[in-house]
Amino acid sequence: MIAPRSNRTSEGHGPPRSFFQYLDILRDRWLSASLAFLVVAGLVGAQALFARPSFESRAMIQLETGRMASDPLADVTLADPQANVDAELEVMGSFSVAERAAVLAGAGVIIQQEHAYRPWESLMRDYGEGAEPARLSARVIGKPMPEKSGRFDVTFDAEGQSFTVKVPEGAEAWGPFEYKPDVGAQIEVLGEQIRLEPIEDSPPPAGRRFVLRLQTKGQAAAFVRGMAFAEQVGTWTGIVHLGARSNDPHLAKRVADALTESYLELKQDWKDRQIRNRIEWLEKALASQKNILHKAEDLRDAYL
């Protein structure tokens, strides 16, 4: 005798529902569904508005990928032009270039207004709420890089005439320090003399909060290297974009310019070294040939 078939599956669930049945359930429970949708949309919107922004600045460099017509080995060499581009991309992303760029960009001491370029703040400025971000320059006095590192919060008073320096999430603080809008201020942090100066055409820092970062030479080079990128445009073009990405557009441009200058300086140093080595080789070869010539002349004179 065959037992009647049940409309339940082995897991105890009923038969699968159709798409229209789900629509009926959604219609009956529209309030819960709407609330769930609004919560998800709100979370996504909040994440987008308060996300870390990313700005990019780049320079375009044309590399020499082909063989020079004056090269006597141009017809027999099997060198791959793309290999030269790949090698140059490695040089652009090297620690040597980043270390030079860190000094040129002043990456040892960086000060930025907190959350100045987040989408939320940018949106408020578009609707006339809030002032443009304030910018300051910072540098260590007497040397290119600080010997100690740290991160500090710098908060200005409502008039922009004084500020305090505080360790994040700590009780240690210094100040208030006097700030003059035309000349800035000089403070001592971790035994380092730091100079803060206003930037032309920048709003005053009154009521603003900044993040001050001190980095040693190695830390600054790693910081710059983390921002840098180098990529070839298209295929087999030899055109390379060298630049930097940051949450601050001005810092991205400053580092990108420093990377480009650092790379070009490094390449020029290599070329100068090659020229000096060739000149030294030619001088030694010429001296050797002169010596051979003098010996030959002496033998000739002795024979005659």
Beta bridge partners, 138, equal 196
- Higher-scoring residue by pLDDT: 50, 292: 292
Angle between helix 95-105 and 81-92 (nearest 10): 50
Which of 64-68, 185-189, 268-272 is predicted with the least confidence, judged by mean pLDDT?
Answer: 64-68
- Higher-scoring residue by pLDDT: 304, 66: 304
Distance between CA atoms of residues 252 and 243, nearest Å: 8
- 91-116 in b/e form (b: 16+ CB < 10 A) is ebbbeebbbbbbbbbbbbbbbbbeeb
Residue 297 has pLDDT above 60, yes or no: yes
Helices (H), the chain: 19-28, 30-49, 81-92, 95-105, 119-126, 217-227, 249-303
Residue 30 has pLDDT above 60, yes or no: yes
Q: Residues 146-195: pLDDT tens digits? A: 999 999 999 999 998 999 999 887 777 888 999 998 889 999 988 899 99
Q: What is the pLDDT of residue 230?
A: 92
Mean pLDDT of 241-253: 93
Q: Residues 34-54: pLDDT tens digits? A: 777 777 777 777 677 667 778
- 153-184 in b/e form (b: 16+ CB < 10 A) is bbbbeeebeebebbeeeeeeeebebebeeeeb
Residue 22 has pLDDT above 70, yes or no: no
Q: What is the pLDDT of residue 129?
A: 78
Q: What is the pLDDT of residue 78?
A: 44
**Which pTM does this prediction carry?**
0.75
Is 184:147 a contact under the CB 8 Å cutoff? no
Q: What is the pLDDT of residue 19?
A: 65
* Residue with tokens 């578009």, as numbered in its chain: 126
Q: Residues 125-145: pLDDT tens digits? A: 778 777 888 999 999 998 889
Mean pLDDT of 213-231: 94
* Residue with tokens 């339940």, as numbered in its chain: 8
Q: What is the pLDDT of residue 111?
A: 93
How confident is the prediction for the chain on average, in pLDDT? Answer: 81
Which of 79-93, 204-218, 274-288 is predicted with the least confidence, judged by mean pLDDT?
Answer: 79-93
- Higher-scoring residue by pLDDT: 302, 140: 140
Q: What is the pLDDT of residue 41?
A: 73
- Higher-scoring residue by pLDDT: 44, 284: 284
Q: Residues 70-82: pLDDT tens digits? A: 444 444 444 455 6
| Residue 2 dihedral angles phi and psi, to the nearest 5° | -95, 125
CB contact set of 142 (below 8 Å; sequence gap of 6+) = 193
pLDDT confidence bin for 69, thresholds 50/70/90: very low
